[in-house]
Structure 1
């Protein structure tokens, strides 16, 4: 697991841009892009759709919706307890690692949400039975659950907009989101809904799939950074270390400006050959390029400006990248793209014009830029 490859952080950023379909853009499908990114956060559906579209040479605004309808993608609670798009065939591996932490069995969780491990197990069995072959709204699901013996007292927890008690059910493969019914979210069973569903593998098997997927898009990374992306550091350190050690010579340590981190062994030479990139990119809110290494990475986002990217209530702003680093934020109001750089400097005019043009193609509207040069 040790190597002598030394790279700069500028090389790392250029390599990530390339691996994530941003340099150059890709001609692959929505489900392939989601798989390449190791999932796409989908708390805000439009942001998830845009995260896929900005990576496509010929953007398809409907690509994510069509993949959800075809059931090659699934929307469910995943990393850090947030809604994500995952490839249907590989979703179980991500969920397995989240379930492995058994957060709902910890005393603090039980005190906060008032549901015992025994109740959670009974709830999971009930929901698995109720949703098998069914697509139900939250209200319909709640009514069906409360009619089950011993579960009548969970009405408040099931109705909570935070959906905390439903997340472990997603992680253990009992539910996922189905197609919207008007303004109402629906739930169903991945077992009966997803043609590519392979169930929930054991965590060791899952780690052997998920860690490489993460490193190929977002490496080099340490186990701690991986776990912060996965579950905000909730995995036991011994377990996390075992997952990485089990990869053996599939991974190698590289040195990034004096710090050591892991990359897949067969990617190390490619990383070392990568030339820094100095171009401009506009990425949407909640983009994996920012979320996967984390907003606390001061090499990516200057510490003094982190609050402009990671905002109140978990909001992650759309960002401006220059040379792969976050140098500002942007917002879309009607047809106006408003840009603000952290230091007030102007952005390259021709590149900015092209990025805004591409963004317009993604959202299906001709856009004009305000600020940023």
Structure 2
């Protein structure tokens, strides 16, 4: 296929649509599956998801989706906690496990746990959480009577999140559904759509394609940011997986910059026409964090620090143009859009007020 040529405005307009920010998705699972993962810490996953729904209900949609198993909550990207679609979460966990950090000498010596001890320990943990959600103390209670693993009981009783994470990465545990409650553990199979942990050679190319499908047109460096820095996949593996999916991608010339896009969506991209848009998103939303705050397409240099610190972005045509915050009954905006977009901003403020359950007055600062 010949190189596709588009403008940056077209590319960002396509991505806005793909992120369900122009026409909403049917449900929370569709949103999260498209974005691959939505962070819990330092962000507002419920607002991120509900802003992308065609018919958003009251606050608490992510909590409801977790409670009925439409989403799972677990440790994955950057050692933090994300909500993920159970159908695809296992692939990202497989990639996260690729480095096998628990086999490093420092781990083995600190926890007195050899690599060949893990299968039996994992089996114990899976059995305890099978009837979960249970507190980590439940695992500690079982291990306390073990001659082989008793020394690890205090690590679960604390609990030690560092030790817990490899169990999540390997699909033995997930976090309980209550976002506001204490830490509890359950089996990820509590989610009806849980598909298990696939083989790494299958998971790697799948996650590369899913990233390009959500954040295209993009580059291998962006894939490395999301899967390499975020999941510790390793540059060599990522380069191999990129080569394996290369036939499923099409080269795109974006105003002289070479990027790639999923081939089956090339016609969509070519047919996209940029329209003026104003979108208000919560801080650390995937729109910014997916490509990363270093990506000048989305985050101008002057606003990078604000985005890194978690300020809520005002997007104009997909580019961060300022920030917003709610103060009392007002929504304050820095660097408001040009006068011809005032109506779009007012409509977006009204939308946000509806999502938050409060009428908000637009105010600039």
Residue 181 (structure 2) pairs with residue 183 (structure 1): yes
Instruction: Give the match for residue 351 of structure 1.
Output: 344
Instruction: Give the match for residue 73 of structure 1.
Output: 71
C-alpha contact 1:80 1:231 (8 A) present in aligned 2 = no
C-alpha contact 2:252 2:260 (8 A) present in aligned 1 = yes
Cα distance between partner residues in 2 of 1:79 and 1:43: 11
Cα distance between partner residues in 2 of 1:367 and 1:145: 53
Instruction: Give the match for residue 247 of structure 1.
Output: 245
Residue 290 (structure 2) pairs with residue 292 (structure 1): yes
Cα distance between partner residues in 1 of 2:38 and 2:109: 28
SS of residue matched to 1:253: strand
Cα distance between partner residues in 1 of 2:340 and 2:144: 57
Offset from partner CA, 1:329-369 (integer Å, 9 cap, x none) = 1222443322223x997783211211111111111122223
SS of residue matched to 1:295: coil
Instruction: Give the match for residue 318 of structure 2.
Output: 324
Instruction: Give the match for residue 130 of structure 1.
Output: 128
Offset at 1:50?
0.5
C-alpha contact 1:254 1:263 (8 A) present in aligned 2 = yes
Offset at 1:115?
6.5
When normalised by structure 1's length, the TM-score is 0.87
* RMSD after superposition: 2.8
SS of residue matched to 1:247: helix
Offset at 1:258?
2.7
SS of residue matched to 1:90: helix
Cα distance between partner residues in 1 of 2:342 and 2:154: 53
C-alpha contact 2:63 2:178 (8 A) present in aligned 1 = no
Offset at 1:160?
6.5
Offset from partner CA, 1:91-136 (integer Å, 9 cap, x none) = 21121111123233345x6399767553655543332222122321
Choose 193-202 or 253-262, whichever is displaced more. 253-262
Residue 6 (structure 2) pairs with residue 4 (structure 1): no
Cα distance between partner residues in 2 of 1:70 and 1:305: 38
Which consecutive unaligned segments of at least 5 residues does structure 2 have?
none
Q: Relative to 1, partners in 2 of residues 1:92 and 1:250: Cα closer, same or farther, differing over 3 Å?
A: same
SS of residue matched to 1:348: helix
Cα distance between partner residues in 2 of 1:200 and 1:163: 21
SS of residue matched to 1:166: helix
Cα distance between partner residues in 2 of 1:117 and 1:371: 59
Which of residues 218, 223, 232 is equivalent to 1:221?
Answer: 218
Instruction: Give the match for residue 15 of structure 2.
Output: 16
Which of residues 271, 274, 294 is equivalent to 1:276?
Answer: 274
C-alpha contact 1:221 1:263 (8 A) present in aligned 2 = yes
Q: Relative to 1, partners in 2 of residues 1:115 and 1:331: Cα closer, same or farther, differing over 3 Å?
A: farther
Mapping of residues 95-110 of structure 1, within 5 Å = 95-106=93-104, 110=107
Q: Relative to 1, partners in 2 of residues 1:337 and 1:209: Cα closer, same or farther, differing over 3 Å?
A: same
Offset at 1:202?
0.6
C-alpha contact 1:308 1:317 (8 A) present in aligned 2 = yes
C-alpha contact 1:81 1:231 (8 A) present in aligned 2 = no
Residue 356 (structure 2) pairs with residue 363 (structure 1): yes
Cα distance between partner residues in 2 of 1:153 and 1:173: 23
Offset at 1:187?
0.8
Offset from partner CA, 1:68-104 (integer Å, 9 cap, x none) = 1221211111222221111122221121111123233
Q: Relative to 1, partners in 2 of residues 1:78 and 1:15: Cα closer, same or farther, differing over 3 Å?
A: same
Offset at 1:151?
3.4
Offset at 1:268?
1.9
Choose 234-243 or 168-177, whichever is displaced more. 234-243
Offset at 1:292?
0.6
